[in-house]
């Protein structure tokens, strides 16, 4: 073998644990969650008295977070920015200021930017982008007023997760 030539190693197949861990980390990063939050969501869905399709219930919990709803409605370009906008108190839920990104919205909730926030450049630019934005079917977006109404609960198909949720459940059930 020549000096200075690096031999390429064959990639080792990923273990089952490695795949589960990777899926969990990908979803955590996608929704901008801390480990404890993720664990609590999984525990609530698997261990709670909730009946139904566990992966769908889990994704509904994640999708109904206020920071995610702000992102999905087109008010923020990323979930991280949605989180920041919510934590800075720019949004009202049913007329009350909410600054908790993990606040879980319910069917029928009305989310709107605070009137004082509408004067900011951030929101003026956002309103221009909203004109051509199409929100998911479970969110009703009034582009004129700017206001978000939660019509339905999101479905697994609409959320279209890029990860395998059962693997995440297996990871936490160790």
For domain 16-64+161-174, give the CATH number: 1.10.1050
CA angle at 128 for the pair 126 and 149, rounded to the nearest 5°: 60
Contacts of 119 (CB under 8 A, 6+ apart): none
Q: What integer pLDDT is reported at residue 33 of this predicted model? A: 94
Domain positions in the chain: 16-64+161-174, 65-152
Cβ-in-10-Å burial (0-12, 13-18, 19+) of 120 comes to: middle
pLDDT of residue 157: 83
CA end-to-end distance (rounded Å), the chain? 45
Enter the CATH code of domain 65-152. 3.10.290.10
Q: How far apart are CA 60 and CA 62, in angstroms?
A: 5
Cα 53 to Cα 23, 56, 73, distances in angstroms: 19, 5, 25
Would you give the DSSP letter of residue 153? P
Q: Could you state, in chain order, the average pLDDT of each consecutive group of 10 residues for the chain (174 residues)?
A: 71 88 94 94 81 84 94 93 95 96 95 92 85 89 90 86 90 89
């Amino acid at each position: 073998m020549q000096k200075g030539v690096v031999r390429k190693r064959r990639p080792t197949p990923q273990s089952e644990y490695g795949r589960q861990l990777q899926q969990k980390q990908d979803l955590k990063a996608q929704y901008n969650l801390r480990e404890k939050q993720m664990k609590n969501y999984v525990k609530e869905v698997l261990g709670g008295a909730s009946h139904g399709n566990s992966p769908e219930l889990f994704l509904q919990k994640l999708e109904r977070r206020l920071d995610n709803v702000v992102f999905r409605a087109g008010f923020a370009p990323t979930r991280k920015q949605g989180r920041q906008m919510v934590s800075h108190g720019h949004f009202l839920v049913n007329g009350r200021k909410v600054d908790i990104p993990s606040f879980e919205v319910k069917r029928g909730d009305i989310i709107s930017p605070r009137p004082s926030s509408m004067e900011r450049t951030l929101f003026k630019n956002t309103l221009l982008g909203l004109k051509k934005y199409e929100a998911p079917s479970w969110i009703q977006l009034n582009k004129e007023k700017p206001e978000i109404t939660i019509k339905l609960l999101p479905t697994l198909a609409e959320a279209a997760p890029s990860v395998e949720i059962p693997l995440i459940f297996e990871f936490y059930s160790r």
